Structure 1
Amino acid sequence: MEKFMLLKMFLSTIVVLVLGFCIHLYISLITNPKKLRKILRQQGIEGPPPKILLGNILEIKKSRADADKAVVTAHPHPPVIHNTATVFPFLEQWRKQYGSSYTFSLGKMQILYVSNPDLVKEITKCTSLDLGRPSYQQKELGPLLGQGILTSNGPVWALQRKIMAPELFMDKIKGMMSIIAESALELVNSWKYKVEMHEGGILDIGVDDYMKRFSGDIISRACFGSSYSKGQEIFLKLDALQEVISKKTLSVGIPGLRYLPTKSNREIWALEKEIRALILKVVKERQEAGYEKDFLQMLLESAKSSHFTSNSIDQFVVDNCKNIYLAGFETSAVSASWCLMLLASNPEWQTRVRDEVKEVFQGKIPNMDMLRKMKQLNMVIQETMRLYPPAPTLSREAFKDMKIGDIQVPKGVNIWTMVATLHTDTTIWGSDALEFKPQRFENGISGACKSPNSYVPFGFGQRVCLGQHLAMVELKLLMALIVSNFSFTLSPNYVHSPSFRMIIEPKYGVNILIKKL
């Protein structure tokens, strides 16, 4: 009898636990998302109706698949159209259907999409830590970014910014000039050799790998005291990890998916483990080599002074090494590829920049003061960043109920804005918004558009990219040296197809025909 009573109590406990779990799931997956949508709908914010558990993921995948089928790879290629909003066609389709502000769902996650310049301005001005990086990024992008500065929030983020920001101020960038110039000259000289060895003196070259090598070399040497070849394995594995994770980006709201031992998840787990081991190996070698005041040394000292445990120090260093590698390496390299594509397509601007380089540099290796005088080149880079912003979307999450503009945003809602849409909105930039016209920046950003807050290639607010000064110096110096040593046009092999893989990049790479001057 006693055993029967114990069994009954045990079964009752199991039933209560299962019932409690089911109720929790129901509230988390159905009740809460419905409640958030209702609050937004009562304010006139509509959107596509979601499906249970999946939200609008199936519609999104179909929209992207249809867009991929529409890409023309046969010859002759169609004219280049500078419209990177096409990487997320569903956002534009819904914007036309529901207006400048609407809501949609990724699984249980509710997204408030905004493209109204006034509302974007309110978001950029918000300094509250209660509007931070979406929590899903830390969960879903954890293998790639961990809890580094790109995904963390609150006091953890504030500490990391305090540590890293001074290392990327302009006075520190000035001290990196010799490294940047050396890496740029190495690339230019390798191209000279290849052109000279090629019959006819004109070479069809894919620039993307060269841009990655240049950017990676600078990050490795300036921040970690090693050459690109030493960090190459880390770069390659981070690139592979980014590729796998990017395919799962729009499935982030499906509960529990990241824990299942699927083929892609197993690949992610293996790469994460390998990358961690490689970074810690570099850290160990760096420590054994002796003291050197660089970014890596600064991370180690800061972690130790913050009284982290040994495991916490390792995690802190690994996460932020991955963050600086990805943010400083990938985005700069892709921006350089887009800039070369635009200069190759617009020979008159290539000539303008070349003439400016001759006038300012006068045959000397450029320094920071010379780069500051490069007005034409600066306009070209600003226009490149407008048409081809590295990050296609900017996102925030409300960690408490808050008001943004006229909208009451409930806790838990994610706010997205499409950078490419803001950068090509004809009401902001004029009827020529999809055209490459660097002259629009002749009087700065405020003179280029009606809403300067709508130009956000490096993000906005207190979460603006820490490495923006380094990125601009890299781009200016490299483009100046390439343009002054070569003339180049777009290769007939180039296929224009902006693609999303964590950032907006040329799906088939950038090919140009170069000739030594």
Structure 2
Amino acid sequence: MDVVNLNQFCIIFPCYVMMILTILWIWRIVNWVWIRPLQVEKSLRAQGFNGNPYRLLHGDSRDMAAMIRDAQSRPIHLSQRNILPRVLPLHHHIIANYGKASFIWIGPEARVLIMDPLLIQEILNKNNVFKKPTPNPLAKYLVCGLSGYEDLKWAKHRKIINPAFYLEKLKNMVGDMSTSCSAMAKKWEDLFEGRMVIEIDVQPYLWELSCEIISKTAFGSRNEEGKKILKLQGEQAELTRQVLQSVYVPGWRYVPTRRNRRLKEINSQVCTLLRSIINQRQKAIELGHVKGDDLLGILLKSNEKEIEEDESNCGMSIDEVIEECKTFYFSGQESTSNLLSWTMFLLSVNKEWQDRAREEVFRVFGNDPLHFDGLNRLKTLTMIIYEVLRLYPPGVIFNRIIYEDTKLGHMTLPAGVHLLLPIILLHYDRELWGDDAHDFKPERFSQGIAKATNNQLAYFPFSWGPRTCIGNNFSLLEVKVTLATILRRFSFQLSASYTHAPAYVVTLQPQFGVQLMLTRL
């Protein structure tokens, strides 16, 4: 090859390479936003599913965002017991128009609604096949610990974290929980100042109470840091909701938009606070200054034991411990405070159940200190909590994904499809619960969950199967301690200033608080 030809080759060859790479890149984009969605839609419709036709890039995302804005701009009347049109307006609309075998589009991704308890049981049982989808990189800033892991990493973290939630550990937490609840009740009592009745919004008190309890039981009374972390995570939750309602374009997290910058700033601040708590706790345990019997201490000891027992196992890194702590804080506090808010709301409008629960608490404890064994005997209160979790579950929908063509029941679903398990839609389904599905009737749980559901997987507020929420017993214990404390000191009814506005922002919460009229007993 002479010099002229070599020079021409050196010029032309890179151009050909760039052209081929550009064509491949364009093909991948076109396949992602158009060809593949149309193939998936054809496959789903052939198997009896229905939904809106795919719309380029956005799918149903814009409709969903508009419906949520509209729903959250208008409260609902107390007589409207079906809260689904306000909580999940798009999903409710799709099922009303297309039936239970339906799908929605979040960008170019098809999400199939699974409403059959048998199929849900199969999905939640086979967590090695039906996996949690890889989170939107911007959504991972909120929580990305155990709940976001899969396979061996999930198994390792679950094993390390499990000891923190053993029954004997939870028993030891009743005293701290009770002390915090009594302090909150004292604040309420101080507000009376000689009056017979007061009006308060209980939601911020319950939020702060859950913050204090999670700080005490998880991190050893670092309450001020806990408040800072939870306030930051509250802002992060709203930003995350906005992120999840939009289509994520690969690489978008690197674009320095105002929202992206704020998400990263919050994450940095939360991680710095948690790193400081963890480092101080490790030093205190090493020096023997603390017992290390709170959740963080138990986690650190369990992690150390795991490393000692298996030299090839590096355990959890400090960054992974931080991620687990973020999950402790947000999930433990957010879910429990909202569950308490909805329970007080429902007991305020169902006074007969409030009276029955109070009578039971006095019968079991009188005016004696609360204890674990007695809390387990509160059958009426347990029935009430189960019914609240049915009507107002903290998490309203679960998401799973398949990475290859997968058989489910009589269907074969194409790779890449998301499977939506809409907890709250099943909890309100009249075919599963009867004509009174929208009504508050704790007696339906008088003989346990299995009897109430006719042994179907129609009730799973804390998920089900291998990935059942690891902190569900902790949350239920905290709720029982709190309610038992309140019921012994106050009676309450709904205030005329209350606005009924359930809203789904990562968890199901009262948009404008819970205003109650309290009477001191």
TM-score of the two chains, using structure 1 as the length reference? 0.93
Report the alpha carbon displacement of residue 252 of structure 1 after superposing the two structures with TM.
Answer: 4.4
2:379 to 370, 375, 391: 375
Q: Is the 8 A contact 1:108 1:253 kept in 2?
A: no
Give the 3 Å change call, closer, same or farther, for CA 429–451 of structure 1 in structure 2: farther
Q: Distance in 1 between matches of 2:249 and 2:52?
A: 18
Give the 3 Å change call, closer, same or farther, for CA 377–78 of structure 1 in structure 2: closer
2:178 to 157, 177, 181: 181
Q: Distance in 1 between matches of 2:504 and 2:450?
A: 29
Which residues in structure 2 correspond to 1:116-131 (within 5 Å)?
Answer: 116-124=116-124, 126-131=125-130
Q: Amino acid of the residue matched to residue 42 of structure 2? A: K
Q: Amino acid of the residue matched to residue 319 of structure 1? A: E
- Counterpart of 1:143? 141
Report the alpha carbon displacement of residue 418 of structure 1 after superposing the two structures with TM.
Answer: 1.4
Q: Is the 8 A contact 2:48 2:101 kept in 1?
A: no
- Counterpart of 1:359? 363
Is 2:330 the partner of 1:326?
yes
Q: Distance in 2 between matches of 1:131 and 1:335?
A: 28
Give the 3 Å change call, closer, same or farther, for CA 515–134 of structure 1 in structure 2: same
Return 333-342 or 182-191, whichever deviates more: 182-191
Give the 3 Å change call, closer, same or farther, for CA 296–47 of structure 1 in structure 2: same
Is 2:297 the partner of 1:297?
yes
Report the alpha carbon displacement of residue 208 of structure 1 after superposing the two structures with TM.
Answer: 1.4
Is 2:439 the partner of 1:435?
yes
Q: Distance in 2 between matches of 1:67 and 1:17?
A: 46
Report the alpha carbon displacement of residue 288 of structure 1 after superposing the two structures with TM.
Answer: 2.9
Report the alpha carbon displacement of residue 181 of structure 1 after superposing the two structures with TM.
Answer: 1.1
Is 2:195 the partner of 1:191?
no
2:164 to 150, 164, 167: 167
Counterpart of 2:56 in 1: which secondary structure? coil
Q: Distance in 2 between matches of 1:252 and 1:478?
A: 40
Q: Amino acid of the residue matched to residue 354 of structure 1? A: R
Q: Distance in 2 between matches of 1:337 and 1:482?
A: 12
- Counterpart of 2:258? 263
- Counterpart of 2:289? none
Is 2:511 the partner of 1:507?
yes
Q: Is the 8 A contact 2:136 2:244 kept in 1?
A: no
Q: Amino acid of the residue matched to residue 295 of structure 1? A: L
Q: Amino acid of the residue matched to residue 97 of structure 1? A: N
Report the alpha carbon displacement of residue 64 of structure 1 after superposing the two structures with TM.
Answer: 2.1
Is 2:34 the partner of 1:30?
yes
1:251 to 246, 252, 270: 246
* Structure 1 residues 54-88: Cα deviation after superposition (integer angstroms, max 9, x where no partner): 1211221222233234436xxxx653625245311
1:44 to 42, 45, 48: 48
Counterpart of 1:10 in 2: which secondary structure? helix
Q: Is the 8 A contact 1:56 1:104 kept in 2?
A: yes
Report the alpha carbon displacement of residue 339 of structure 1 after superposing the two structures with TM.
Answer: 0.4
Return 291-300 or 358-367, whichever deviates more: 291-300
Q: Distance in 1 between matches of 2:249 and 2:493?
A: 45
Return 229-238 or 335-344, whichever deviates more: 229-238
Is 2:92 the partner of 1:95?
no
Q: Amino acid of the residue matched to residue 490 of structure 1? A: L
- Counterpart of 1:132? 131
Return 466-475 or 92-101, whichever deviates more: 92-101
Report the alpha carbon displacement of residue 144 of structure 1 after superposing the two structures with TM.
Answer: 1.0
Report the alpha carbon displacement of residue 410 of structure 1 after superposing the two structures with TM.
Answer: 2.4
Q: Distance in 2 between matches of 1:509 and 1:353?
A: 23
Give the 3 Å change call, closer, same or farther, for CA 128–348 of structure 1 in structure 2: closer
* Structure 1 residues 384-434: Cα deviation after superposition (integer angstroms, max 9, x where no partner): 101000101011111333222222122221100211111111111111111
Report the alpha carbon displacement of residue 149 of structure 1 after superposing the two structures with TM.
Answer: 0.6
Q: Is the 8 A contact 1:303 1:316 kept in 2?
A: no
- Counterpart of 2:230? 235
Q: Distance in 2 between matches of 1:385 and 1:27?
A: 42
Which residues in structure 2 correspond to 1:342-421 (within 5 Å)?
Answer: 342-421=346-425
TM-score of the two chains, using structure 2 as the length reference? 0.92
Q: Is the 8 A contact 2:360 2:378 kept in 1?
A: yes
Q: Distance in 2 between matches of 1:265 and 1:480?
A: 43
- Counterpart of 2:460? 456
Q: Distance in 2 between matches of 1:5 and 1:392?
A: 61
Q: Is the 8 A contact 1:106 1:254 kept in 2?
A: no
Is 2:196 the partner of 1:201?
yes
Report the alpha carbon displacement of residue 272 of structure 1 after superposing the two structures with TM.
Answer: 1.1
Q: Distance in 2 between matches of 1:318 and 1:408?
A: 39
Q: Is the 8 A contact 1:130 1:400 kept in 2?
A: no
Counterpart of 1:459 in 2: which secondary structure? coil
Counterpart of 2:137 in 1: which secondary structure? helix
Q: What is the total number of aligned residue pairs between the two structures?
A: 508
Give the 3 Å change call, closer, same or farther, for CA 30–404 of structure 1 in structure 2: same
Report the alpha carbon displacement of residue 258 of structure 1 after superposing the two structures with TM.
Answer: 3.3
Q: Distance in 1 between matches of 2:489 and 2:367?
A: 11
* Structure 1 residues 154-201: Cα deviation after superposition (integer angstroms, max 9, x where no partner): 111111111112321222211211111111111111111122x2x523
Q: Distance in 1 between matches of 2:263 and 2:222?
A: 26
Q: Distance in 1 between matches of 2:429 and 2:78?
A: 23
Q: Distance in 2 between matches of 1:31 and 1:243?
A: 33
Q: Which runs of 5+ in 2 are unaligned?
A: 287-291
Is 2:483 the partner of 1:479?
yes
* Structure 1 residues 240-268: Cα deviation after superposition (integer angstroms, max 9, x where no partner): 11111112212245444433222111111
